[in-house]
Structure 1
Amino acid sequence: MKTAILFAGQGAQHVGMGKDFYAEYPGFRRVFDLLPEEQRRIAFEGPAEELKKTENTQPIMLAFALGVYRVLQEHGFVPDMAAGLSLGEYSALAAAGVFDDKTAVELITFRGKQMAKASEGTDTVMSAVIGLEREAAENACREAQSEGDVEIANYNCPGQIVVSGTEAGVTACERNAKELGARRCIRLEVSGPFHTSYMKPAGKALAEYFRGRTFGRMEFPVVFNCLGREKTGAETVRELLVRQVSGSVYFEDTIRYMAERGVTRTLEIGPRRALSGFVRKTDRNIETMSIETTEDLGKVIAWTEKQQ
């Protein structure tokens, strides 16, 4: 039996996240203390509007994820494979040894600032289209282009696809989707048109920032968002991270790829449990576990020690 670890992305954050882990686990504290004091305060105390800002959400989410993972490592946990949703991919790569914790926080802080900058003045929205298959959702987007920009940002799982673009484009896409059989469309509370062509300036900035940086070798496989599979020898981590910021996230493909390679269990790290829901909707044969609270972490530590 193989276990894959999954790291949550933006949208899962909530005020108070990490406070209980910080009080109880020195290993978590060492990572979370890499954040500026102001961001730790925002994570623990809010306000929610500050936590929702991309430039704050991304480093806080990464520090939470890596802090929990380092505690698991101390107890002997080693996954067979890893992936993360959007910013969670940086946590997955750090867990696999590609970045150290300090470098990971620096990289994601830069990414968050550049994505926030690329979002300024865009007047865009994101919407989750529920109950429509991939081809139909793509058709709904294509037919909406005459009314405004709209692109598919995330293929999360069967029947859940996220679109993003201008208000007019997304509204037209939602209308088309419902005509094609979508059950509903849910507007998302996010601060930018992530994983669309609007983020290309952020990708260009990342490419410059990565220039000359040396990345470590992976200690276990990471499945990449923009591929839905592992990278080939001809592909580089820096190239894929640049592509990822403005390209669609193929999370459903990621789960199917893992299942094909023998993964029978996933462990999600992050506030809320959205990724575990995506896994269950994609492949019900995969067992899901998640760590959202210190109680969850204690249970996984006990499970890990029993496996040894």
Structure 2
Amino acid sequence: MSVRVARAAWARGWGASYPRGASSFRVPPPGPESVTELLRDAAVEDEAGVATARRSPGQCSVLLFPGQGSQVVGMGRGLLRYPRVRELYAAAQRVLGYDLLELSLHGPQEALDRTVHCQPAVFVASLAAVEKLNHLQPEVIENCVAAAGFSVGEFAALVFAGAMEFSEGLYAVKIRAEAMQEASEAVPSGMLSVLGKPQSKFNMACLEAREHCKALGIENPVCEVANYLFPDCRVISGHHEALRFLQENSSRYHFRRTKRLPVSGGFHTRLMEPAVGRLTEVLQTLTWKEPLVPVHCNVHGGKYTHSKHIPKLLVKQLVSPVKWEQTMHAIYERKKGTEFPRTFEVGPGKQLGAVLKSCNLQAWKSYSHVEVLEACEAQDL
């Protein structure tokens, strides 16, 4: 893929089309020196077959978009000085019907943590972080060769890649978050991060936790791996009683550490089946385009190969485990001695960077985080 086309993807994601069933709005057009104007010309040149200089792997970049659980009060404060960021939040207020920027900046944390709020908040903050990255290091956007997003972050990655427009992506995230919130309230459930050992048997632990729940009279209990993070680390979703059983018996399964995640339900399992219908319906109203930057899918870790597969796999993602470890292997696989691309985590938190470090230490050495708070640290932008 041409780097010019890769950069053009970011422009294409900011269209004005809006899904049926929602109030219409248009993101205000940027100024003449914006990335949109620059990339429109670049895309035309590429379509005409103009050759572009080849980049070495070390000059290329990968963008990673975080998911739910990365939210923190104050996110977005470090982005407001950059072009178009306030426009994104103004557009978000029209779509969502509440002031997302106010909630992101000032909380309270309890409200921000609710699924219905944090998914749109992380989505918009991540794309606002791309605006910052484009302003400070436009060559990173030019030379992007792959993108991936964790759970709801996959929607942001697809907008960045031009597969759908910002307005449509945000509306889909809104419906997804509402449906998942409702599904979560129907069954007391949650998610448990588990750091194990090579001898840990996650599937056996889940099976015995389900048997424990059945003995307590819980019908059709759920307890299964929902996220593959890195070797010996999984996130398990299920009924609260199942997760409690795993924590109380962690030594039996050689778990080194367990921690409940700040989410409202057992995501990426069949507990989310009640949300499937609403998400399917809204995704069918969207206009899908071929991603101009390869986007990796949570369901199998590989690239999307056709735009028609995107809505189907986004729905399947709701009830399937996130194969993030597999995604990291797919993105960073290369011949020995070949340089790794630079990696940028765009959005709140540095969780994806920590996971990358455990998956591929050499790739992590070229990792940076685009800071969305005010403070800037080493290796942050």
Per the TM alignment, residue 107 of structure 1 is displaced from its structure 2 partner at its CA by 1.1
Worse overlay, 208-217 or 56-65 = 208-217
Could you tell me the TM-score, scaled by structure 1's length? 0.90
Identity in percent: 30
1:43 is aligned, of 104, 107, 110, to 104
Q: Report the Cα offset of residue 249 of structure 1.
A: 0.5
Cα distance in 2 for residues equivalent to 1:8 and 1:27: 21
1:27 is matched with which residue: 77, 84, 94?
A: 84
1:284 aligns with 2:361: yes
CA distance, structure 1, for counterparts of residue 83 and residue 356 of structure 2: 31
- In 2, the alpha carbon distance for the partners of 1:39 and 1:233 equals 33
- What CA distance in whole angstroms lies between the structure 2 residues aligned with 1:298 and 1:108? 32
Deviates more, 1:177-186 or 1:228-237: 228-237
Pairwise CA RMSD: 2.3
Q: CA deviation at 1:297?
A: 11
CA contact (8 A) 2:168 2:286 kept: no
Q: Is the 8 A contact 1:30 1:67 kept in 2?
A: no
Bigger radius of gyration, 1 or 2?
2
C-alpha distance 278-300 of structure 1, shift in aligned 2 (>3 A): closer
The structural deviation recorded for 1:85 is 0.6
Say if 2:273 and 2:318, in contact at 8 Å, map to a contact too. Answer: yes
Cα shift at 1:268: 0.5
Structure 2 residue runs of 5 or longer lacking an equivalent are 1-56, 214-221
Take 1:112 and 1:134, find their aligned partners in 2: how far apart are those partners? Answer: 36
Query: Map of 1:39-188 to 2, 5 A cutoff?
Result: 39-74=100-135, 75-76=138-139, 77-78=141-142, 79-133=144-198, 136-148=201-213, 149-175=222-248, 177-188=250-261
Return the alpha-carbon distance in structure 2 between the equivalents of residues 133 and 6 of structure 1.
Answer: 27
Q: Within 1, Cα distance between the matches of 2:321 and 2:85? A: 31
Aligned to 2:347: 270
SS in 2 for 1:19: coil
The alpha-carbon deviation at position 281 of structure 1 amounts to 0.1
Equivalent pairs, count: 300
1:199 corresponds to which of 253, 256, 272: 272
Query: 1:266 Cα shift?
Result: 1.6
**Scaled by the length of structure 2, what TM-score is found?**
0.73
What is the alpha-carbon distance in structure 1 between the residues aligned to residue 258 and residue 332 of structure 2?
A: 29
Of stretches 209-218 and 44-53 in structure 1, the one that deviates more from structure 2 is 209-218
Task: Describe the shift of the 1:100–1:299 C-alpha distance in structure 2 as closer, same or farther (beyond 3 A).
Answer: farther
Question: In the alignment, which residue of structure 2 is the partner of 1:306?
Answer: none
Amino acid at match of 2:129: V
C-alpha contact (below 8 Å) 1:126/1:162 kept by paired residues: yes
SS at match of 2:102: helix
Unaligned runs of 5+ in 1: 302-308
Deviation at residue 272 of structure 1 after TM alignment: 1.6
